[in-house]
Amino acid sequence: MTAEEALTLTAEWRAQLPPEEPSGVLCDCGSGRDSVLCHGRRFVTADDLRELEALARARDAAVCEPSIRARGPALEAFAAGVGPTIDEDEGAPPAELVEEGLARIDEGERRRLVAAYEARRPAEWREICRHVADVALAERALAFGAVEATIIDERPRPRFLLEGLEDERVSDWPHHVVACALRPGSIWSIDDAEAAAEVARPLKLAPGDYQEAVCRFAAARVTVEHVARVRLLASRLERQLPLDGLPRASAFLARGCRRVADDEGTACDAAVGSLFAFVIHLEGVPGGFTPN
């Protein structure tokens, strides 16, 4: 069967199907289409699949790039209210909640987000747009993901991570406790983490050298943007203090958040420590490593 014959047969099959009735529920990819007409379609062609994959990549842009975060007083107030109510173990915030947040940013902010991602990853954005017939759908999906990431950044960190700060053997250095408590993917891109891991991987059997290699890598690449994100996230964390049943962690985190706000060097060190935490998340703990 030739490609043309296959396309003709596919069109005939689709024509025989009863029309799909909209469900009244927007697709959670953020395109703005009804789910039945988007990722919930019963029958799709290869072109459809490429478009759906591209829309998913647009939504996930903020996962790869922490700089892709939606801004604005209305959204930030909304995210501060709903974020702390979402448990980290529940995964992504409900799509309907993200849609509420999306309604709180204007067209100018949506355009800024698209321009920011296009500037960061031009080839990837061109590839997304090549597969989505209506580019406005991809732009909306990207904005949806950026709003979702803003809400996630307000979500409390898993309690088991913060419980570790109760251990008196764990360092109480301000930059260390803050780095332990913040979400690394909200500070560094996945590209940064993978590049740092690549540099340090040959040293994995020498934990001290491994940590030093990652931290040198981070220190050489930390920018004012990383410092600003650390300070922003620390200010949000401080609003959630004190933590019930964690007096040591609460006290040290409160002190650390204040130091991060007041001292750029501490904020920079926290950013460096955060990249090391990101690498550990990707690669696992090197043999014999003991946090200091």
How far apart are the C-alpha atoms of 162 and 128, rounded to whole Å? 38
Q: Which two tokens stand for residue 204?
A: 């994995």
* Rounded Cα gap, residues 236 and 258, in angstroms: 12
Contact of 268 with 231, CB cutoff 8 Å: no
**Tokens linked to 218:** 């981070």
Contact 7, 14 (CB under 8 A): no
Predicted confidence at residue 66, as pLDDT, reads 93
Tokens of 191: 């590209």
Residue 237 is predicted with a pLDDT of 92
User: Do 256 and 231 touch, CB atoms closer than 8 A?
Assistant: no
pLDDT confidence of residue 15: 59
Distances (CA, A) of 86 to 91, 152, 195: 9, 8, 31
pLDDT of residue 90: 66
Task: Give the residue ranges of the chain where pLDDT is below 70.
Answer: 1-21, 43-44, 88-90, 287-292
**CA atoms of 267 and 265, how far apart (whole Å):** 5
CA distances from 271 to 175, 268, 292 (A): 8, 5, 16
The answer to whether residues 206 and 242 touch, using CB atoms and an 8 Å cutoff, is no
What are the residues facing 34 on neighbouring strands?
Answer: 26
Residue 33 to residue 191: CA distance in whole angstroms: 31
Query: For residue 76, what are its two tokens?
Result: 């930030």
Q: Tell me, what's the pLDDT at 96?
A: 93
- Separation CA 194–CA 134 (nearest Å): 33
Closest CA to 104 of 137, 80, 72: 72
- According to the model, what pLDDT value does residue 4 have? 66
